[in-house]
């Protein structure tokens, strides 16, 4: 089955982001993966004109805490979009399902409750190799894809 390259997009249609402010909330669990996702997102925002001082980064312990971290950022920081970055790897128990479901529903709820969009940059994989492949490996970097989504949604929010 072909997998889309997560870093591939048409750069010519992305507007300049120099007037926008972005939040990035990063889970520390599987930090080598989430740091690569962060770098992909950060570099993409910078490439399209976002100023360094207009990217606010907060860390949270695990993906489950992304919900509260993003909520707090939405309540206290003036941002145009937030990117929630996490990585959940399947283990031997149902914990994986509960975390994935909780984070997904939680971020969905934030998008319903707040007028600022929260982008879902959470890799939910069966093993570490799949996560490596999607955080700067052979399938690109989901952080890039999510930064592009954040830019598009921030502009949509200005309508």
In the complex with ligand DLZ, the residue whose CB is nearer, 15 or 61, is 61
Q: Is 64 in the site for ligand DLZ (CB under 6 A)?
A: yes
Q: Is 62 in the site for ligand DLZ (CB under 6 A)?
A: yes
On the CB side of 33, CA atoms within 13 Å amount to 25
In the complex with ligand DLZ, the residue whose CB is nearer, 143 or 154, is 143
Binding mask 112-141 for ligand DLZ (x = CB under 6 A): ------------------------------
Cα separations in angstroms, 33 against 97, 125, 127: 19, 12, 12
Kindly tell me the sign of the dihedral angle through the C-alpha atoms of 69, 115, 34, 46.
Answer: negative
95 catalytically annotated: yes
Among the candidate windows 1-9, 26-34, 47-55, 151-159, which touches ligand DLZ by CB under 6 A?
A: 26-34
Cα separations in angstroms, 81 against 24, 33, 55, 135: 9, 22, 10, 21
Q: Is 65 in the site for ligand DLZ (CB under 6 A)?
A: yes
């Amino acid at each position: 089955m072909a997998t889309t390259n997560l870093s591939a997009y048409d750069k010519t249609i992305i507007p300049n982001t120099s007037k926008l402010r972005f939040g990035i909330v990063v889970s520390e669990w599987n930090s080598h993966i989430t740091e690569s996702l962060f770098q992909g997102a950060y570099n993409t925002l910078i490439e399209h004109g976002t100023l360094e001082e207009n990217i606010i980064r907060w860390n949270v312990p695990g993906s489950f805490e992304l919900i509260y971290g993003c909520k707090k950022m939405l309540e206290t920081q003036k941002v145009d979009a937030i990117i929630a970055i996490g990585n959940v790897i399947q283990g031997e128990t149902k914990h994986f399902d509960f975390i994935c479901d909780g984070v997904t529903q939680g971020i969905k709820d934030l998008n319903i409750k707040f007028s600022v969009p929260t982008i879902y940059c959470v890799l939910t994989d069966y093993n570490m190799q799949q996560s490596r492949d999607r955080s700067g490996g052979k399938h690109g970097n989901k952080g890039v894809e999510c930064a592009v989504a954040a830019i598009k949604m921030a502009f949509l929010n200005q309508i």
